[in-house]
A and B are shown apart, each in its own frame.
Chain A
Amino acid sequence: MNIHWDWIAGNLDEIAGATLEHLELTLIAVGVGFALSLLLALAIYRWRRLYGPVAGVAGLLYTIPSLALFAVLVPFTGLSVLTAEIGLVGYTLLILIRGIVSGLDGVPRDAVEAATGMGYAAGQRLSRVELPLAVPVIVTSVRLATVTTIGLVMVTALIGEGGLGQLMLRGFNRGFPTMVYVGVVMSVVLAVTLDLVLVGLQRLLTPWARKRTA
């Protein structure tokens, strides 16, 4: 393995730029995907019969090979960030919807019954009892979606986006492996960092989940 450290030293700006772009594409995809999934999951939680159709569509999206999906979208939305994000968001839905629904399903029934019986209105109960208690499961699904998205962002290099994917693609084209290695290492660093941030966020949000049983 022949790494050109001098290239790395001379192109830190480009590496940082590609990493930031990769991060940005990931965060937008997971953020928008989460917002959509939350709405859909709450609708499913309320009207259970929606679960089959919604999960079916999200599952279908998930099974389309990423390259094919982007290729299909390009005639409509061009070689753009929008095209990339539509695909990326689409891939997060299945994981996030399932995660949020099973998080809500896992809330202890007795806590929900007590909340209702003591006079929580439905909305209050959702925001103050059910969602907070679903946080651990929801965060787990967000971690999974995030790591998956970081991988998929690589593929968007083929439609002119891609952050670190661009770096790798150019490395392949020029027969210059150092760029490929940098792309791989930085994407792993990105994935691990975001995962740790999410774990930290969960610990912050759920101090109660760390307590030991009496």
Chain B
Amino acid sequence: MRKILFLVLLLTGSAESQSQVTYERLLHADREPQNWLTYSGRYSGWRYSTLNQISTSNASHLLIQWAFQVGDLGQFETTPIVVDGVLYGTGQNDRAFALDARTGRAIWRYQRTLPEKLQPCCGMVNRGFAILKDRLFMATLDAHVIALDTTTGNLVWDVISADHHKAYTFTVAPLAVKNEVIIGTSGGEYGVRGFIDAYDATTGARLWRFDTVPGPGQRGHETWAGDSWKTGGAPAWITGTYDPDLNLIYWPTGNPSPSNYGGGRGGDNLYSNCMLALDADTGKLRWYFQFTPHDVYDYDATQVPILLDADWEGRPRKLLIQANRNGFLYVLDRTDGKFLFAKPFGNVTWARGIDRDGKPILNTSLRVSPEGTRVCPGALGLTNWFSPSYSPETHLLYIATSTECDVFTSSPQTYRAGHDFLGSVYVPDPAERPTGSLKAIDVRTGSEKWSFPYFSSPNGGALSTAGDVVFAGDSDGNFIVLDANTGRHLWHVQLGAAIYSTAIAFEVDGKQYVVIPAGSALFAFALP
């Protein structure tokens, strides 16, 4: 009897450990194509799936499998996590849910009780969970970090990270590394002082903080005139990527505050609009690269960095690639941040080019003025926060882009805690209606291989798969499948509302699914 009990305990224990998402599993997420374990699918940020059941030859046969209604309004920006047949997602107003990934039926729902007044610049959104062991981690709109139990959705821990009364809000999907949960703040439109935090996944204790605006005595502080650092912005609201061999986290930062007026904050304004390489254990800065120094156009660098090992100019290098909101595609050496290459991937007028050190050559005739100055790309960027995708099959980077140019009209402001702090107004150039496209860029040359036109500027990114297809969503509600090599349209479906996120792929019972949020629902598609 004792032996049987021991055996039962052993088996039970074994089953539990198998169902847990260990750091080892996250490290090797590419070995589990049936799952989607991190925001970008794997630490390298590729948003690429090796599943190939859905391919160029059969994508036109896709059928809806289920839809899940969140039951709330506003932009639905989640990237779900999928583990062994269970899908975990977050929704508007800090809702969350777990679903049977095969049927879309809910296992549990979570709704955070939020304070009455919160100030996310751009909607009561959340971009997803991170998972580690049997816990899900969420960064909340009231600037807390919380852990939920994967089986029940019960709250395990809840820590205050920042003061939401000062317009700190969180919308980012955390990144789980080792036993850490890493998040970055939003609030760049309200004069917050940005930071990136790491929390102990077990206890919620804060392990380190990196201030993205250096204080007195800190390196980089001299890049802020006077006291402007105190309201310097530089938020960090998009999930970074991670190189376990170098033990470096790559986390991009956003605009300096005020976002569109530089008069009171002379200097380069470090570490706004940067790529930061932080030691994963300590949060110490290993290197940085600033894409848009002293930005006045709101060119947040908050685009997912892609990590790629490839030959560069004849020798193997560890590369970091980013299609930046300022309109340039950058290639850096991710061991030391050395600038290797930049090339515009659309219409850029704010800079005439990038010099050999990676600094923009400014178009000085386009200073923001009280009368209004037309600048391309507009404040919303040639691309934005929605994820790009890199396919190792095609060597192409898939980027959703916008043609919008804006007329910037300066309107200096005085900082008031918790209030908008923009310093300018921008409106789309009334002479041309902005459109968009999904572009395929060869990362080895920066040249465009194909472009698929959208009628409107996009809000959703791209997912590429080993089926040689790219899944994308447009702002007019179309979920679209394209040939990854040619951009040829294979299939689309109208989902009835704008798509504000990017697809993921997973597999249950031998069937490949793709899931995309649109409106307030999550839609799952598969072959018949």
Are A and B interaction partners?
Answer: no
Using a CB–CB cutoff of 8 Å, the interface residues on chain B facing chain A are none
A residues contacting B by CB (< 8 A) are none
